[in-house]
Amino acid sequence: MMNTIDLENSDVTELNQKLHDVNGTKDKSEWQILNPKGRHNVAVGIDAPLKVKIDGHVGYYCAGMNKHANVTVKGNVGPGVAENMMSGIVHVTGSASQYAGATAHGGLLIIDGDASSRCGISMKGVDILVKGSVGHMSAFMAQSGRLVICGDAGDALGDSLYEAHIYVRGKIASLGADCIEKPIKSKHQKELGKLLKDAGVNDIDVSEFRRYGSARKLYNFDVDNVDVY
């Protein structure tokens, strides 16, 4: 049975409490959220395999701290979508504002449109696939996980990167400190192909992407690299 919450008649705190009531369970119920109208903190802190569809645009931190749930936003999202996500899937059918997927530890974030600056900042194991382009400083201090960009990337991509993998199909304005292009081996083609498939991208070949990663020169302080710290 579909559970429907209309935010014209209910507030976000009440909505989130209803979603949290099943936290820690294997509840797979479906939820539809109507009239979000840019409200913040919609569907945050879920810890159950719920299926949540949000019909409209949302503000800050939608689906933050998500665990296990499948959250779809039929619209655009504000800053911090899927921030600190642990697992599950968050799918944005529109575009995302700043720091999408920030500090996220796991799961899959799919953005059908573009993402603004700092997409994947300090990501710690999440997979992020952006079908459009991303803004400057994306994957800044990214520690692990994969960022796939089907469009272009802004300045300072991968600045101060650790061990995350970045795949870019389009043009890059500039690479950040310690980020370099690396060869795509068969294992990378395999992981990229799976990510594209999981995100429903079936019309792009893995051969169209380039891979970027850490040059590993900033792991320990070296006076010769002081100009890039």
Q: Supply the DSSP string of 103-144, one letter for each residue.
A: T--SSEEEESS-B-TTTTTT-EEEEEEESS-B-TTTTTT--E
Give backbone dihedrals phi and psi of 192, rounded to 5 degrees, phi first. Answer: -65, -45
CA-wise closest residue to 212 among 169, 97, 187: 169
Q: Is 2 exposed, middle or buried (0-12, 13-18, 19+ CB in 10 A)?
A: exposed
Query: What does the pLDDT read at residue 1?
Result: 74
Residues with Cβ within 8 Å of residue 74, at least 6 apart in sequence: 53, 54, 55, 56, 93, 94
Query: What does the pLDDT read at residue 22?
Result: 96
Query: What does the pLDDT read at residue 217?
Result: 83
What tokens appear for 44 in the block? 């945050």
pTM greater than 0.85 (yes/no): yes
CA-wise closest residue to 98 among 66, 113, 120: 120
Query: What does the pLDDT read at residue 31?
Result: 98
Instruction: Check residue 157 and report its DSSP letter.
Output: B
**Bridge partners (DSSP) listed for residue 157:** 175
Query: What does the pLDDT read at residue 220?
Result: 67
User: Contact 114/93 with Cβ under 8 angstroms?
Assistant: no
| Structural domains of the chain ordered from first start | 2-222 (2.160.20.60)
| Rounded alpha-carbon distances, angstroms, from residue 196 to 54, 200, 205 | 23, 6, 9
Query: What does the pLDDT read at residue 143?
Result: 95
User: Contact 15/35 with Cβ under 8 angstroms?
Assistant: no
Binned average pLDDT, 10 residues per bin, the chain of 229 residues: 93 97 96 97 98 98 98 98 98 98 98 98 98 98 97 97 96 96 96 96 95 86 62
